[in-house]
Amino acid sequence: MYFKLPKILLLIFSMSIKCSFGQSILSDFDIDLNQGKVLLAWTIKSGNICNGIEIYRSTFNDSVGFEIIEEIQGVCGDLSAPVAYTFTDQSPVLNTVNYYKLHLGGQEYSQVLNVEVVQIPSNSYLLRPNPIYGTSDLLFENANNENIELKIYDDFGSIIYKEQTNGNRFILDSNSVSSGLYYFTIENQANKKVINGRALFLD
């Protein structure tokens, strides 16, 4: 879905990425992530028009992987004032990086913006890649930035590795333990909720 916004646009994005263009008819092109949906916003400079806008998405930043996910038909832009647009991708590809670009009426392609859309099951975790060879991301929910503790156990139940964070991920390194299958716990220190998991480490 898309909306043509008023000529004066004020948007506050918590995690906005802005691109500048040389002689582009775009004055800005932004991307944001909100509750698993990707928000795009762009402005066509005053004095520029184009015949329709195509919105492309890909999970690869290459020239052949992009597919059209939305078309805005008709004349876009305005000869007397800048015009702002927004588009919300309601169903981005989960647990990967999504790449977006615009095609402005045959005149030009925008730069490519990207955002990673991660969905973690409730009271669970996402470990990738798994098995761990080198480093892997251990992702979990921590919306309130509470203190989270990771413990890794050997076969005898002894703690062989411990780490804490107020974020939503740990980086597991295969060099930190010997090769093998290990069990771990992720504990929220505020409410004492514990998530159990296991990971295979490879040299």
Q: How many CB atoms sit inside 10 A of residue 162's CB?
A: 9
The pLDDT assigned to 1 comes to 52
**Cβ neighbours for 151, distance < 8 A, ≥ 6 positions apart:** 159, 161, 162, 184, 185, 187
Give every CB contact of residue 146 below 8 A, 6+ residues apart in sequence: 166, 188, 189, 190, 191
Low-confidence stretches of the chain (pLDDT beneath 70): 1-22
Please report where in the chains the tokens 């004095």 appear, as a residue.
Answer: 47
For position 23, what pLDDT does the model report?
Answer: 77
pLDDT score of 35:
85
Query: So what's the pLDDT on residue 186?
Result: 97
CATH class (in words) of the domain with range 125-202: mainly beta
User: Pick from 151, 169, 171: which is nearest to 161 by CA?
Assistant: 151
**What's residue 63's pLDDT?**
72
| Multiple choice CATH, 2-117, 2.60.40.10, 1.10.150.120, 3.30.300.30, 2.120.10.80 | 2.60.40.10
* Domain regions of the chain by residue span: 2-117, 125-202
